[in-house]
């Protein structure tokens, strides 16, 4: 009886990949359920920083609806705030179609949380293609800092998600060779 390591077979690797992706999907379903519960019980208005981001999204929406794309392109920064890249705020403009834009904006964060989860899973799978990729994803997504960002209308979670996706793309390209 020897304790010899045998590398995983292609079939066991495929099984781990499918189960890992299913695990990420279940994790995201749980997060969606928790977000739904949070938006039902949270009655506070957005605080100052979050309200500024919502106002920037409203400025984009009003400029684009009025047919003034140049105003959206050269949007003046808010007092005390730096200019922000427009991607997050342009996505937030869709929140104003809902009855409660502040809570609808949190669903945009769910999309970024999904991007973060799949990016972390992809990174972890690249370095260690086994069950630990799902464990890494759960640890990152369930981290208190990420969960706090998930329930605020700030640009931080999208930034983290896009950075993780960029690192995954870089690693998967083998240093831009593929």
For residue 61, what pLDDT band results from cuts at 50, 70 and 90?
very high
Whole-number Å distance between alpha carbons of 52 and 65: 20
| Residue 177 pLDDT exceeds 60 | yes
Longest dimension (CA), the chain: 76
| Residue 151 pLDDT exceeds 80 | yes
Residues 80-99: what's their mean pLDDT? 88
Tell whether the torsion through CA atoms of 78, 80, 85 and 88 is positive or negative. negative
Helix (H) or strand (E) holding 46: none
Number of C-beta neighbours around residue 2 at 10 A: 3
Contact assessment for residue 54 and residue 92, using Cβ atoms and an 8 Å cutoff: yes
């Amino acid at each position: 009886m020897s304790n010899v390591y045998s590398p995983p077979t292609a079939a066991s690797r495929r099984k781990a990949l499918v189960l890992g992706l299913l695990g990420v999907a279940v994790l995201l379903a749980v997060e969606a359920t928790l977000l739904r519960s949070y938006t039902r019980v949270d009655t506070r208005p957005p605080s100052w920083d979050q309200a500024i981001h919502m106002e920037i999204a409203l400025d984009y929406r009003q400029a684009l609806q009025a047919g003034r794309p140049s105003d959206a392109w050269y949007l003046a920064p808010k007092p005390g705030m730096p200019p922000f890249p427009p991607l997050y705020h342009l996505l937030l403009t869709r929140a104003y179609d809902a009855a409660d834009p502040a809570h609808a904006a949190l669903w945009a964060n769910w999309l970024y949380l999904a991007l973060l989860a799949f990016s972390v899973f992809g990174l972890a799978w690249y370095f260690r293609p086994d069950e630990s990729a799902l464990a890494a994803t759960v640890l990152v997504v369930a981290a208190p800092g990420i969960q706090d960002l998930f329930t605020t209308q700030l640009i931080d979670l999208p930034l983290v998600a896009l950075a993780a996706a960029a690192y995954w793309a870089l690693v998967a390209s083998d240093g831009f060779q593929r």
